[in-house]
Amino acid sequence: METKLHNFLNSNLLNKYLLGETSFEESKEVEHFISNYPEAASAYEKLQDNLEIIAKVGAVNVPNNILTDVLESLDESNDTKVIQLIQKRKTPWYSIAASAAAVLFAVSSFMLYQKNQQLNSENNIVDAEIMDLRSDIDKNNSKLDELSRELMKLNNPDAKKYVINGNDRAKNLKTVAYINSVEKTSMIDVITLPQLPKEQHYQIWAELQDRMVNLGILDESNRKLKQIPYMEDALALSIKISTKGDHTNENGTEVAEISLKDK
């Protein structure tokens, strides 16, 4: 309904109605909008006021001495003066009113156009913000889905939980391992890792019957559940401090260990 009102106000029907130039159907439409929409009634009243002001401005009182001058001029030369008087005849007030109404309509249309452009710009900004919000919602939903899947793995009755605490060399170290022997999955959750020199890092190892297997690097900056390789016959898990680039078991310093055969 606001669109119809907007289109009506942008049309020239009010001006035509005021000047008596509308058809019967157009007059009914104008009177409908004036009767039912305060905005239309207000616009019509403003046009009426403007026409009255213009009519008053055009109605200038003629000084008394003008008539005497005109009569004297007629006596001197009737033909030329009559033509001159006809040429200087005042423009009818309704023509002035129509011109003023046209100017007012043009100004109103331009203002409405500017307002519409501003609204379009604001709508574009809102649309962009909505798209960003939807993108954020999708990302958050994806993270929630991932977290939900991880929690399902942790809450799986087949998953066993192993808390790995540091020894005297790393008393503040604490991680938790979740091993599911049915689904053949292993996950590690880093709780705290004491800070190391830049050239060193923590590695987690699985102890098998005949060898040690490197399961990856532990980093406290990545504080979330981390998938690690599942070792079928692992006897224990251990965490060692080693020099970056060294992936051998012999040179590492063991700071935590837990047996996997006690549960």
Inter-residue contact 111 to 24 (CB < 8 Å): no
pLDDT, residue 174, reads 92
Say how many Å lie between the first and final Cα of the chain, rounded: 73
Domain total of the chain: 2
Q: What's at 201, amino acid-wise? A: H
- How confident is residue 10, by pLDDT bands cut at 50, 70 and 90? confident
Token digits of residue 43:
């616009």
Are residues 164 and 126 part of one domain? no
> What percentage of the chain carries pLDDT values higher than 90?
12
Range of the domain at 107: 2-130
> Does a structural domain hold residue 87?
yes
> Does a structural domain hold residue 64?
yes
Q: pLDDT tens-digit profile of 24-42?
A: 988 898 898 899 988 888 8
| pTM of structure | 0.44
Average pLDDT across the chain, whole number: 78
For residue 183, what is the domain's CATH number? Answer: 2.60.40
What's the chain's length in residues? 263
- Is the pLDDT at 68 greater than 80? The verdict is no
